[in-house]
Homo-oligomer: A and B are copies of this chain.
Amino acid sequence: MVKIGIIGAGRIGKVHAKAASNLNGAKIIWLADPIAPDLEETAKSMGIEKTSKNYKDILNDKEVDAIFICTPTDTHYTISMEALNFGKHIFCEKPVDLELGRVKDVKDLVAKTGKKYMVGFNRRFDHNFMAIKENIDKGLIGKLELIQITSRDPEPPPISYVKVSGGLFCDMMIHDFDMVRYLSSSNPKSLTAIGDALVNPKIKTEGNDIDTAIVSIELENGALAVITNSRRASYGYDQRAEVHGELGALSCSNDTSNTLVISSKDGIIHEKPLYFFLERYLNAYKMEIEIFVDSIINNKETPVTIEEAYQSLLLAKAAQKSLIENRKVYINEL
């Protein structure tokens, strides 16, 4: 039985807690959060025995095998380093950190301690993207030529969030960089980014960020890729991929809550995509936790390692550089 402590009882902490609380072979014994007003209530509703305002109580508990880091990004590094030193396995929400050097520190410590460290690139566990990946790997479309990824949030976050988010490339497109690497089984060689604040100009003027971007990529395996991102999609969360190879194409569209079609004088109306990531990736969140726990129980490599997180952050940094310097950037420049 893997004993788990969850650090962070916000939205995503609750999702992971719920997922883990129904797992055979795992038991959540701690839930820690310094400020969550409903900490006790949340813990109780999920049968979690112990709570604390201080995550160090979890690290100090020798019973705890693994922790889930579901806190704000700027705390991921410190908690990760401490927890590894305490000998805990770690499931950490993305991004591990916004500084490449600090992610490298974590990577080195993971290597040294030999603990599991899985990063929450949840989309790798989405049924649609997995179906594409499986068919690529089966050779269904032969050699890859072109990957097109569309990723649009339903609406822009508040400026306050933008300011601490690390920017669109590190906060949002980092998932898509990971997806390009996942689907292609290759690393980018170079990229070119363009972008602007077209949805909300304040994201630029006050948040020093962009909300709409296109990044075109040359991969080491010769294939090309393009990612488009926007912080707005009035019709719901829009997450699609399309992969072309020598024998054909694989694509996936969005999930909807039902298959209802309304036909009237106003047109043929289908359901909109699910509203946002919690709805769309609910099962992916469950699966990633299940796989993390299984990798501990059976001492297997986790499917998303700290190395993957490092590589995706590298691409996000390269995209920032490309945007600022207004030119193509080779990844090995960084």
Contact = CB atoms under 8 A, between A and B. Distances in A.
B260 A140 contact: no
A249 B222 contact: no
Nearest to A144: B198
A233 B212 contact: no
Nearest to A242: B150
Nearest to A132: B260
B258 A131 contact: yes
Interface string A235-264: 100000010101111111111011111111
A70 B145 CA distance: 33
B246 A263 contact: no
A234 interface: yes
Contact of A194 (B216, B233, B249): B216
Given A272-B268, A328-B327, A212 B145 contact: yes
Interface in A87-129: 127-128
Given A192-B192, A248-B262, A268-B270, A228 B230 contact: no
B267 A272 contact: yes
A226 B230 contact: no
Contacts of A326: 328
A160 interface: no
A182 to B, nearest CB: 15
A10 B159 CA distance: 55
How many copies of the polypeptide does the oligomer hold? Answer: 4
Nearest to A211: B145
Contact of A24 (B45, B212, B222, B327): B45
A232 B145 contact: yes
Contact of A246 (B45, B192, B232, B249): B232
A195 interface: yes
B146 A228 contact: yes
A67 to B, nearest CB: 24
A248 B265 contact: yes
A255 B259 contact: yes
A249 B214 CA distance: 17
A218 interface: yes
Interface in A11-28: 22, 24
A258 B131 CA distance: 7
A253 B264 contact: no
Interface of A: 22, 24, 45, 127-128, 130-132, 135, 140-141, 143, 145-146, 148, 150, 152, 192, 194-196, 198-199, 212-218, 222-226, 228, 230, 232-235, 242, 244, 246-255, 257-272, 326-328
26 contacts: A127-B258, A131-B257, A145-B198, A145-B199, A192-B192, A194-B216, A194-B217, A196-B222, A226-B228, A230-B244, A232-B246, A233-B249, A234-B246, A235-B263, A235-B265, A247-B264, A250-B260, A251-B260, A263-B272, A265-B272, A266-B269, A267-B272, A268-B269, A268-B272, A270-B270, A327-B327
The 5 residue pairs across chains A and B that have the minimum distance between CB atoms: A248-B264, A235-B263, A131-B260, A268-B270, A249-B263
